[in-house]
Each structure stands twice: as structure tokens, then as C-alpha cells.
């Protein structure tokens, strides 16, 4: 969006004034200087003195991702998102089995996206989803990688085991302690040994390493299991009153997302990170489905008051709702429902919808709760 930045190393970063001053994403030029995701800004500048920092524009990022997914849909209805900016596509019905045809199609899509959206993509082609994902990571930016069924051992078994989908930091450390450093070493290890060490996830990644992933590409989204948001505070909170505006803002953001997806929640969890970075987590079930920001905020404050002692100030806070269900789904009513509480939730939901519509038309800063105004 700002072509003048293209000749510089660039990092997207959090706001240092809000104590989120770390690198969230970096350009190829910054990566070549050694800048890594999670680096504090002072360290990124030390590694790369000419680096330029920009704040996130999440709404623009999300808009691009959705537009590109719509482009994919002209080739196949089987587009399965993986995170926000990655997708699996099942193109088996579009291109024939010849490798040349698959590579030609991938190059056409890559060039189209560059021309239409002025961004680059990296494409992995393979006989299963895990290796297609791995291929997309092997060459960046603006590249196509093919991993064939007859040559995948030669192509990927020498890669670090951490490159394989499903191998997180903890699994990687355990595998390394056992002398398993590469994907090939994992594939050739005893299956039962890996399962004993890592449980079901161990069996899964062992199968991935051996090319045994048979999961289909599906456009059907799995039902959302939870929804939440958290934030690091600009200044430590020393009491519930300090935290109340933050609770309200987080609750409103969650309520808007619930409404967008037509969901209500029957469980809530809050987390608190104190000034020593110690993590505290509390949760509870709720007898009726909640969706209104005011109700979410009240429950979060109630849980905080019941459980957190305020011996130490709070540095970060978050709210997560779980046991989500469709708002209009049939359910058994209770003889002991609190009718006043249900009516209050409906009333506050209507207020949320009105606020949401105003913000959509005139901008997110045009209307705000009085207690949240700085």
C-alpha cells in the first residue's frame, strides 16, 4: 500500500507506547538481516539499522485474504482455510495428473494474484495436505514447489523436524533430546516409541513424516469451539476499577464477533498475567447463552473479584468464551430460568447491534462507552 517502503527492510510491529513493541512480521529484506518474529524493536534495529517499522492494519490484511480466497473459489469449491492467509485447495478435478499441468496451473494462479492484488504467494503442490503446506514454506517469496509421491523422501527427509506440520516447540525439544533432528529420522523411528513419548500427536506426526496423511480438503468449517481476546495493558492495573474499561472493550469486541457468527456462549474463562508475568486462569459455566457485551463484562468482573487477590498489579488480561452454540438452535428450557436476566441480555444485545451498525457506517471511533473514553 506504500510502494516507497519496498526498497527498505520493513517490520510490522506492536505499539511501543502500549508495551507491545515486538516484531510481528518482517519483509524478506529484514529477514536477511537476521530480524526475527518476536524480536524487541531495539534488537531489530540493532540487527538492521535501516529498518522501517509500521503498525498493523489488520482490517486491510483480512480484506486481502478474503479477496484472494474468492479468487481461489473460481477454480474449486474445495478451499480450506488454514489460519487467515493460507489455504489448501483440492485441484484434482481441475488439472490432469501430469506434473507439468499442475505446475502450469500453480504458476498461472501465482501470476494472477501478483497482477490482481500486487502481493506474492508461495505455492506447494503435493499428494497430501501436509506436504503441500511444507512445500509452500520451502521456497519464498513468489515460488512454486512440487513434492512428488515417489521423491518426497529425497526432498524433505533431510529438513529439520520442526519444519513438519504438527511439530511445535515442546515436541521439537523432546524429539531433539531423543536424537531425532530431521523429518527422516522421525519417519524411521519406531512408531510405538514416538507415541509413548508424544501421545496421539506423536503418532500423527510420525504418519505425516511417512507421507500417510489422508485428510481431505474440505470447505466445511469446523464448529467454533471458543472465542476470546486479550491485551497487554499500557500501564499495570492495581484494582478492578483500573481494569474495568479494558474488560468492557474486550467484551464489546467479543460480543460483535458472537453476533457476526450467530453464536451464544455458556461458559467463560478469564486469564490474568501479573507484573511478574505469572499466569492465572479462572473459568465458570453459565446457565443461559450469553451474547451481550454488558453481560460478558459483568461476568468477567465478577470472576475477577471472586478469584484475584490484587496482591500484585495486572499487566495483561483476557476473556475467552466457550461452550458456543448457535443462537437459534433448539434447546430445553428450564423452569428456573432468570427471566429478568434473559431480558437484560436481549436488551443489551440490541444496543450492541446498534453500536455495531453505527461503527460500520461511520468508523469504529465514532461511538464508544463513556467509561472507556480516555
Q: Which residues contact 174 (CB under 8 A, 6 or more apart)?
A: 197, 198
- CA separation for the pair 152, 148 (Å, rounded): 6
b vs e for 108-133, b when ≥16 Cβ sit within 10 Å of the residue's Cβ?
ebbeebeeeeeeebbbbbbbbbbbbb
Do 321 and 267 meet the contact criterion of CB atoms below 8 Å apart? yes
Residues comprising the chain, all counted: 374
Q: What does the alpha-carbon distance between residue 254 and residue 258 come to, in Å, rounded to a whole number?
A: 6
Distance CA 112, CA 343 (A): 52
Active centre residues (catalytic): 86
Q: How many CA atoms lie within 13 A of 273 on its CB side?
A: 11
- Residues 6 or more apart whose CB falls under 8 angstroms from that of 201 comprise 166, 171
Q: What CA–CA distance (Å, rounded) separates 45 from 51?
A: 6
Kindly give the pairing relationship between strand 10-13 and strand 79-82.
Answer: unpaired
Strand segments (E) across 242-346 = 263-274, 279-290, 314-326
At 166, list the grid cell: 504438527
C-alpha cell at 162: 520442526
Residue recorded with cell 474468492: 70
d(CA 183, CA 157) in angstroms, rounded, equals 5
Amino acid at each position: 500500500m506504500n510502494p516507497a517502503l519496498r526498497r527498505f527492510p520493513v517490520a510490522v510491529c506492536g505499539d511501543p507506547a502500549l508495551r507491545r513493541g515486538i516484531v510481528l512480521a518482517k519483509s524478506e529484506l529484514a529477514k536477511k538481516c537476521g530480524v526475527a518474529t518476536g524480536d524487541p524493536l531495539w534488537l531489530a534495529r540493532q540487527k538492521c539499522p535501516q529498518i522501517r517499522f509500521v503498525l498493523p492494519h489488520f482490517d486491510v490484511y483480512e480484506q486481502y485474504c478474503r479477496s484472494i480466497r474468492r479468487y481461489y473459489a473460481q477454480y474449486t469449491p474445495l478451499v480450506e482455510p488454514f489460519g487467515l492467509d493460507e489455504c489448501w485447495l483440492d485441484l484434482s478435478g481441475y488439472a490432469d495428473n501430469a506434473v507439468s499441468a499442475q505446475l502450469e496451473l500453480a504458476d498461472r494462479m501465482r501470476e494472477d494474484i501478483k497482477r490482481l492484488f500486487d502481493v506474492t504467494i508461495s505455492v506447494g503442490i503435493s499428494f497430501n495436505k501436509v506436504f503441500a503446506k511444507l512445500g509452500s514454506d520451502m521456497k519464498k517469496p513468489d515460488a512454486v514447489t512440487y513434492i512428488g509421491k515417489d521423491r518426497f523422501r529425497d526432498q524433505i527427509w533431510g529438513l529439520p523436524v520442526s519444519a513438519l506440520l504438527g511439530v511445535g516447540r515442546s515436541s521439537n525439544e523432546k524429539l531433539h533430546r531423543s536424537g531425532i533432528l530431521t523429518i527422516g529420522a522421525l519417519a524411521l523411528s519406531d512408531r510405538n516409541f514416538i507415541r509413548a513419548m508424544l501421545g496421539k500427536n506423536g503418532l500423527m506426526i510420525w504418519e505425516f513424516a511417512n507421507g500417510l496423511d489422508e485428510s481431505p480438503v474440505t470447505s466445511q468449517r469446523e464448529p467454533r469451539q471458543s472465542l476470546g481476546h486479550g491485551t497487554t495493558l499500557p500501564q499495570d492495573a492495581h484494582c478492578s476499577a483500573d481494569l474495568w474499561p479494558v474488560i468492557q472493550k474486550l467484551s464489546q469486541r467479543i460480543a460483535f464477533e458472537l453476533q457476526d457468527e450467530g453464536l451464544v456462549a455458556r461458559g467463560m474463562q478469564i486469564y490474568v498475567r501479573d507484573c511478574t508475568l505469572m499466569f492465572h486462569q479462572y473459568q465458570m459455566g453459565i446457565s443461559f447463552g450469553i451474547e451481550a457485551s454488558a453481560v460478558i463484562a459483568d461476568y468477567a468482573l465478577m470472576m475477577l473479584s471472586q478469584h484475584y487477590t490484587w496482591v500484585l498489579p495486572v499487566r495483561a488480561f483476557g476473556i475467552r468464551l466457550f461452550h458456543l452454540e448457535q443462537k437459534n438452535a433448539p434447546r430445553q428450557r428450564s423452569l428456573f430460568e432468570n427471566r429478568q436476566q434473559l431480558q437484560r441480555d436481549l436488551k443489551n444485545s440490541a444496543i450492541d447491534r446498534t453500536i455495531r451498525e453505527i461503527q460500520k457506517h461511520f468508523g469504529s471511533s465514532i461511538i464508544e462507552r463513556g467509561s472507556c473514553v480516555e
